[in-house]
């Protein structure tokens, strides 16, 4: 028996499927598997499929579906034998070069002090882990990553920075992520990547996709400037 | 080309939104008042999803370099074309060199100006809408500025100088202006946290005790009123939200999301407004009182389909009005049985 999924309306043009109550890899994996099954089923009238930690939100055209008819179609997909569905392609692994500390990571020292580690040890632990893109949100291309070393967990800054440069790599609670755009932000910034996470002229526009795996690789400032194409 | 002499408070190029990219964190965006925008387009013979201008509270001053059909809809406003009052909700022939001055909106928050052929900006990720947060789409990913010159596409209506001066038909599309000085009623489909609210909180939301705060834009509207108690239970995990989602942050002052909403949010969700009240939502301005009425999902979707049928009939009626006319101007009365009505 599979645990029951909950389908609830989100207004009259969207609905939300909740697959679990707890944040974690197991439920998030189910969310992405369900998204793949729905996409493979080729249902018409779907405008957007938005995964999050434990939910999948479907934006649909109420001219083509009612909440009930779409709910029934989804229930069939939810209960379909997962083995019969196309085997998921192995998750894509994306390497993100990061220049840690200094002007690129002004909060690295604070994070190290908070963790009781040296700055080098923080870099080793942060760059040593394999992260999972739970979903993208907040701003275009912003990844919510799971898999941060528990030792590096640190609350947001009491006062957010007015401007965090694009590419900044930060920590907020048990989350780590990369700012695609220069925005105000309260995350503890430990480094910066020269890669562009969101470029509307690129196809696809985002470097990362939901369910990708991410590895950070420490680079020197000279390499940062080379990749960023200028001093 | 349209020359921008003065941009107004916030004037952007919008269509019906950039769909299919919410999983990457891109809001659908598009015109806040979807119906007013679609009707403006239909009036000038455009596809309902053509790009037009969305103006906010105070409109721009524009010069139309070449003659063309234009139409404005949305909140009641005073607009002059070469210093003469310009009626809304109907097609207007504007000769080349026309100067268009959009005053402030008397009521409501947003107005729409469609031009025959649409604003011809490039499609970015499938849409011409301006996404201010991502800085993409529309005119260079930003609001209009003085000195901008916007290209216009090819019009489906004749533009061979039908008249030397401005002209318009005597008919117009009827529309419901909100009654002044009364709470705006927004019907909504209750969400997971609605039932957890105490009766007094639901009563406050139902009786117009909340007003739109000054902090309101296309992303969302902060509401101010009696502080609502935080719903019980564990902290919510971020999940998908949509335009019209009513969130309750810890300070007890709800947020009503607009079209440029973040794709996911972690605040408790009290509900999401029905799509038939989208125009009322789009026209809310600071100080407006709101009352929220629950609506069953099946009823909301039936009303949505009725609304789409009305827009479809309006499109047919407008085509007939044009085809019966002599081809250079819309006739002065709509044909029998095709009374254009938007609501």
pLDDT above 60 (res B330)? no
Q: Same domain for A36 and A134?
A: no
Would you say residue A84 lies in a domain?
no
Q: Same domain for A222 and A121?
A: yes
Average pLDDT for chain B: 90
Strand (E) or helix (H) holding B36? helix B34-43
What number is the average pLDDT over the span B314-329?
77
On the CB side of A222, how many CA atoms lie within 13 Å of its CA?
A: 0
Q: Same domain for A125 and A193?
A: yes
Chain A residues lying within 8 Å of B242, measured CB to CB:
10-11, 13-14, 57, 59
pLDDT in tens, B239-292: 999 999 999 988 899 999 999 999 998 889 999 999 999 999 999 999 999 999
Say what the pLDDT of residue A175 is.
85
Fill in the DSSP letter of residue B120: -
pLDDT above 70 (res A85)? no
Assess contact for B261 and A14: CB atoms under 8 A: no
pLDDT in tens, B196-244: 899 999 999 999 899 999 999 999 999 999 999 888 777 788 899 999 9
* Domain definitions of chain B by residue range: 2-172, 184-295
CA-CA-CA-CA torsion sign (A61, A67, A69, A75): positive
Average pLDDT for chain A: 90
Q: Same domain for A147 and A206?
A: yes
pLDDT in tens, A125-172: 999 999 999 999 888 999 999 999 999 999 888 887 888 999 999 998
- B199 contact partners, CB below 8 Å, separation of at least 6: none
User: Which residues span the domain enclosing A157?
Assistant: 93-228
On the CB side of A154, how many CA atoms lie within 13 Å of its CA?
A: 24
- The alpha carbon of residue B303 is apart from the nearest alpha carbon of chain A, in Å, by 10
Say what the pLDDT of residue A112 is.
97
Chain B residues lying within 8 Å of A136, measured CB to CB:
23-25, 263
Chain B residues lying within 8 Å of A57, measured CB to CB:
239-242
CA distance B28 to B125: 11
Say what the pLDDT of residue A162 is.
83
pLDDT above 90 (res A121)? yes
The pLDDT-based confidence of A223 (bands split at 50, 70, 90) is confident
Q: Same domain for A100 and A185?
A: yes
pLDDT above 60 (res B297)? yes
pLDDT above 80 (res B336)? no
Chain B residues lying within 8 Å of A181, measured CB to CB:
134-135
B262 touches chain A (CB under 8 A): yes
* CATH code for the domain in which residue A17 is found: 3.30.1360.40
Say what the pLDDT of residue B342 is.
47
* CATH code for the domain in which residue A150 is found: 2.40.100.10
CA distance B84 to B101: 10
Q: Same domain for A104 and A213?
A: yes
pLDDT in tens, B123-136: 999 999 999 988 99
- The alpha carbon of residue B83 is apart from the nearest alpha carbon of chain A, in Å, by 41
Say what the pLDDT of residue A227 is.
74
Task: Tell the residue number behind the tokens 């939200």, with chain if given.
Answer: B241
Inter-chain touch B25–A141, beta carbons under 8 Å: yes
CA distance A150 to A133: 17
CA distance A73 to A17: 13
pLDDT above 70 (res B162)? no
Say what the pLDDT of residue A47 is.
97
B125 touches chain A (CB under 8 A): yes
pLDDT above 80 (res B184)? yes
The closest alpha carbon to B204, from B167, B179, B182, B229, belongs to: B229
- Does domain B184-295 fall under CATH 2.40.100.10? My reply is yes
Q: End of a domain among A18, A44, A79?
A: A79
B196 touches chain A (CB under 8 A): no
Q: Same domain for A23 and A68?
A: yes
Chain B residues lying within 8 Å of A68, measured CB to CB:
298
ipTM of this complex > 0.90?
yes
Q: Same domain for A73 and A102?
A: no
B56 touches chain A (CB under 8 A): no
CA distance B291 to B303: 19
Say what the pLDDT of residue A201 is.
87
Say what the pLDDT of residue A130 is.
95
Beta pairing partners, B216:
B221
């Amino acid at each position: 028996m599979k645990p029951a999924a909950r389908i609830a309306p989100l207004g009259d043009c969207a609905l939300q499927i909740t697959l679990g109550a707890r944040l974690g890899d197991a439920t998030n994996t189910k969310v992405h598997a369900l998204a793949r099954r729905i996409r493979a089923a080729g249902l018409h009238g779907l405008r957007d499929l938005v995964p999050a930690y434990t939910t999948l939100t479907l934006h649909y055209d109420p001219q083509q579906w009612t909440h009930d008819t779409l709910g029934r179609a989804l229930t069939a997909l939810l209960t379909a034998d997962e083995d019969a569905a196309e085997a998921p392609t192995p998750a894509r692994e994306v390497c993100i070069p990061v220049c840690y500390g200094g002007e690129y990571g002004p909060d690295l020292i604070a994070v190290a002090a908070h963790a009781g580690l040296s700055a080098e040890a923080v870099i080793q632990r942060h760059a040593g882990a394999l992260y999972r893109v739970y979903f993208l949100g907040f701003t275009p291309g912003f990844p919510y990553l799971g898999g941060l070393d528990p030792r590096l967990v640190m609350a947001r800054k009491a006062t957010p920075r007015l401007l965090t440069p694009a590419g900044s790599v930060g920590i907020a609670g048990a989350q780590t992520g990369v700012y695609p755009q220069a925005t105000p932000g309260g995350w503890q910034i430990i480094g910066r990547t020269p890669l562009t996470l969101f470029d509307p002229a690129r196809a696809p526009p985002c470097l990362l996709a939901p369910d990708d795996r991410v590895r950070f690789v420490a680079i020197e400032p000279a390499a940062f400037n080379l990749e960023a194409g200028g001093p | 080309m349209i020359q921008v002499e003065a941009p107004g408070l916030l004037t952007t190029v919008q269509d019906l939104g950039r769909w299919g990219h919410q999983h990457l964190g891109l809001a659908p965006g598009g015109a806040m008042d979807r119906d007013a925008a679609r009707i403006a387009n239909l009036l000038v013979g455009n596809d309902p999803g053509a790009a037009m201008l969305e103006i906010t509270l105070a409109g721009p001053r524009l010069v139309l370099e070449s003659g063309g059909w234009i139409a404005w809809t949305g909140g009641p406003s005073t607009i002059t074309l070469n210093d003469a009052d310009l009626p809304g909700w109907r097609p207007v022939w504007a000769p080349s060199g026309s100067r268009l001055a959009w005053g402030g909106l008397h009521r409501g928050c947003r107005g729409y100006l469609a031009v025959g052929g649409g604003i011809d900006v490039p499609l970015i990720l499938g849409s011409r809408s301006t996404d201010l947060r991502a800085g993409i789409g529309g005119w260079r990913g930003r609001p209009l500025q003085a000195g901008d010159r916007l290209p216009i596409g090819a019009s489906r209506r004749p533009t061979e100088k039908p008249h030397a001066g401005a002209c318009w038909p005597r008919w117009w599309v009827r529309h419901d202006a909100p009654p002044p000085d009364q709470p705006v009623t927004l019907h909504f489909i209750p969400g997971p946290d609605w039932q957890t609210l105490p009766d007094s909180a639901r009563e406050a939301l139902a009786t117009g005790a909340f007003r739109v705060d000054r902090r309101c834009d296309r992303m969302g509207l902060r509401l101010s009123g009696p502080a609502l108690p935080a719903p019980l239970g564990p902290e919510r995990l971020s999940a998908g939200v949509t335009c019209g989602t009513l969130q309750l942050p810890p300070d007890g002052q709800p947020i009503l999301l607009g079209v440029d909403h973040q794709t996911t949010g972690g605040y408790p969700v009290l509900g999401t407004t029905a799509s038939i009240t989208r125009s009322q939502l789009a026209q809310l301005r600071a100080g407006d009182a709101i009352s929220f009425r629950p609506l069953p999902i099946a009823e909301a979707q039936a009303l949505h389909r009725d609304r789409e049928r009305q827009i479809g009939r309006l499109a047919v009626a407008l085509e007939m009005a044009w085809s019966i006319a002599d081809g250079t101007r819309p006739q002065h009365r709509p044909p029998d049985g095709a009374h254009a009505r938007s609501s």
